[in-house]
Structure 1
Amino acid sequence: MLSASFRIMKKIITKLSLLIIFTLGISVFAQEKKQFSSISNVLKRIIPSDDVDFWVLNYNQYGKDQEIKISGTKKDYTPQFSGFDMFPDEDSFYYIVYSKGGKINYVTDLTGLKTFIGKLDNAEEAAISATIDGYMIDEEFKDVAGNYFDDKNNYYLEMGKLTSKECPYQKTHYVLAVNKASGKITDVEDNGPYIELYNKKCTNNPRLLKIEKKEEPKDEPKKKPAKSTKRK
């Protein structure tokens, strides 16, 4: 009888232990999850793949340049009139100027940016690399499309993607697993749309479809005028 009670107690303790471990695991996971502060700060975290004499990160908005990071002793360079966007449909762009072996070079597109980054050194560089495949850090909705965590082998990025410019305009959020060694996206989890915007021109607007489906009120039969009876 004593051994049976001991076995029951042992099972209860084991289940409680597993529950505690599971709860602690969730807590640790939640603590490790971090948010990208801004696209500018993500770009500031770049560590160039090659040894460079200096590099400057420029942000151009409405034709005005702003140097948001300078690494090394800056040299004279020519301002650029085009660059790369980290977010679709922006009225601004970034570009990088760097010197290698005494020669001034410019990074004005995402492909050149990926080459400049080279091997991934941090989650920010992984997010920049994913941008080339159409993903983005959505600064307006960072809770769903601007987070990350990592383990020994991978960076896990929560990012958005513009999946439709037609009706409806749509953004979808994903979790990307980016291998630290290869820099490649090894897994993509689709979490569905987080924005769907319809306008009056959208023929597939659910609101318009509901209105069209409404039955038109039936015309009531007209009443015949009552016959007047004349007294003789």
Structure 2
Amino acid sequence: MIKNTSKLILLIFFLLGTLTYAQEKKKFSSIPNILKGIIPNGKIVFWVLVYNTYAKDQEISISGSKQDYTPQFSGFDLFPEEDSFYYIAYSSGGKMNYVTDVNGLKTFIGKVDNIQEAAIAATIEGYIVDEEFKDVAANYYEDTSNYYLDLGKLTSQECPYQKKHYTLTINKSTGAITNVKDNGAYIELYNKKCANNPRLMKIEKKEEPKDEPKKPAKSTKRK
């Protein structure tokens, strides 16, 4: 009886440890590593992920025997950065093809196969992996059924500039976002032009000068 009780206790601790480990949040290492995790849909002989910044190409990831491809002058920009974009060149059915927009990327990925593709699918829907704030907007954990991603979203470019963070639940079987939890704003920036700037609202009104009492006129009568 004692042995059975001990085994049961050990089993409970093991299951609790496994559950805790499974729900431990991990941070996305970098944007390029997320894109390197793509598993293409269909039979792809060769594909290359190219990063273009300031009109210069850099091959980030190559899969299969390298083939010649034509450099592209536009691409997708899921993770906004000035003067840069990504594109994919791939060979399928004896023909070289190119992914230069989010619709093409969605088709290229097809079914969501891993956490990296789940993050990309979420960014296509307007969310961002915010590398500057990984604790709140660039991390994840998973269980047997779902991916859980903490991502950001730019909710206002006007006064005030604002980013909010959300926890997204993405079903592993369907790749669909099944739940979105709003965790509130983590960036809120005001400037002098913002009419709703809290600092401007605290400006003290200057008191108007009071009129001084008039002095009685001096008598000019002679004695």
Name the TM-score, length of structure 1 as normaliser.
0.81
Q: Is 2:52–2:85's contact at 8 Å kept on the other side of the alignment?
A: yes
How many residues align structurally?
206
Q: Which residue of 1 aligns with 2:108?
A: 116
Are 1:150 and 2:142 matched, yes or no? yes
- RMSD value, Cα: 2.5
In 2, distance between residues paired with 1:57 and 1:38? 15
Deviations 1:142-168 (A, max 9, x none): 111000001111100000001011111
Q: Which residue of 2 aligns with 1:7?
A: none
Deviations 1:101-148 (A, max 9, x none): 111010011111111111111111001001111001011111110000
Q: Is 2:22–2:142's contact at 8 Å kept on the other side of the alignment?
A: no
Q: Which residue of 2 aligns with 1:217?
A: 207
Q: Which residue of 1 aligns with 2:93?
A: 101
Specify the SS of the correspondent of 2:113: coil
In 1, distance between residues paired with 2:209 and 2:72? 68
Q: Which residue of 2 aligns with 1:175?
A: 167
Specify the SS of the correspondent of 2:199: helix
Residues 166, 89 of structure 1: alpha-carbon distance in 2 compared, 3 angstrom cutoff: farther
Moved over 3 A (4+): 220-228
Specify the SS of the correspondent of 2:50: strand
In 2, distance between residues paired with 1:90 and 1:143? 23
Deviation at 1:218, TM superposition (A): 4.5
Output the amino acid matched with 1:45: G
Q: Aligned residues: percent identity?
A: 67
Matches within 5 A, 1:122-201: 122-201=114-193
Unaligned runs of 5+ in 1: 1-16
Output the amino acid matched with 1:111: N
In 2, distance between residues paired with 1:208 and 1:134? 32
Q: Is 1:39–1:86's contact at 8 Å kept on the other side of the alignment?
A: no
Deviations 1:56-95 (A, max 9, x none): 0000000000001011111111100000112235321000
Output the amino acid matched with 2:205: E
Residues 33, 190 of structure 1: alpha-carbon distance in 2 compared, 3 angstrom cutoff: same
Q: Is 2:24–2:141's contact at 8 Å kept on the other side of the alignment?
A: yes
In 1, distance between residues paired with 2:150 and 2:66? 35
Specify the SS of the correspondent of 2:44: coil
| Bigger helix fraction | 1
Name the TM-score, length of structure 2 as normaliser.
0.84
Output the amino acid matched with 2:94: G
Are 1:72 and 2:64 matched, yes or no? yes
Unaligned runs of 5+ in 2: 1-8, 219-223
Output the amino acid matched with 1:194: Y
